[in-house]
Amino acid sequence: MIEPRKLGLDVGDRTIGVAVSDPFGWTAQGVTTIRRSSLSEDLAQLKKIYEEYQATIMVVGIPRNMNGTYGPQSEKVKEFIGQIREAMEVEIVEWDERLSTRMAERSLIEGDMRRDKRKKVIDTVAAVCILQGYLDYKQHHKE
């Protein structure tokens, strides 16, 4: 059964990694890394991708400390989520992204990717990890 697509976002100060679910909602694939420039441009690029894939949900990684508390970066991401909601009508799921960047880096290292190339795709792969975690959770917790 074909499901509405979901976007996964790894939001950072300089970049936003973007991933999308497959039409069945089983796997996440990397789409792009948005180089942040201005709020309006960042939101315009996100909206374009959201509409291109006809997504219905954005799964946004929320960075948390290992003890589960929220730090300063979490507040920045939550503020950006509020700005997304003001710019477009979209359902947003906040997803614990602890260790997503480390998982992404480990998979790229295991894939024998050179450091300079890893830097270019790490945020997109982190978005894949965030979205895949959400998809796996939904698969195993169907109501």
At 83, the amino acid letter reads Q
CA 54/CA 31 separation, integer angstroms = 14
CA 47/CA 35 separation, integer angstroms = 15
Q: H-type helices in 3-143, by residue range? A: 39-52, 72-87, 100-110, 115-140
Do residues 8 and 96 make contact, with C-beta atoms less than 8 angstroms apart? no
According to CATH, the topology of domain 5-140 is: Nucleotidyltransferase; domain 5 (3.30.420)
Summarised one tens digit per residue, pLDDT across range 84-102 is: 999 999 999 999 886 566 6
pLDDT value at 48 more than 80:
yes
Dmax (CA) for the chain in angstroms is 44
Q: Which helix (H) or strand (E) holds 23?
A: none
Summarised one tens digit per residue, pLDDT across range 7-42 is: 999 999 999 999 999 999 999 999 999 999 999 999
**Domain ranges (residues) in the chain:** 5-140
pLDDT value at 114 more than 80:
no
CA 98/CA 104 separation, integer angstroms = 11
Higher pLDDT, 132 or 99: 132
Summarised one tens digit per residue, pLDDT across range 55-77 is: 999 999 998 777 777 788 889 99
What is the percent of the chain with per-residue pLDDT over 70, rounded to a whole number?
82
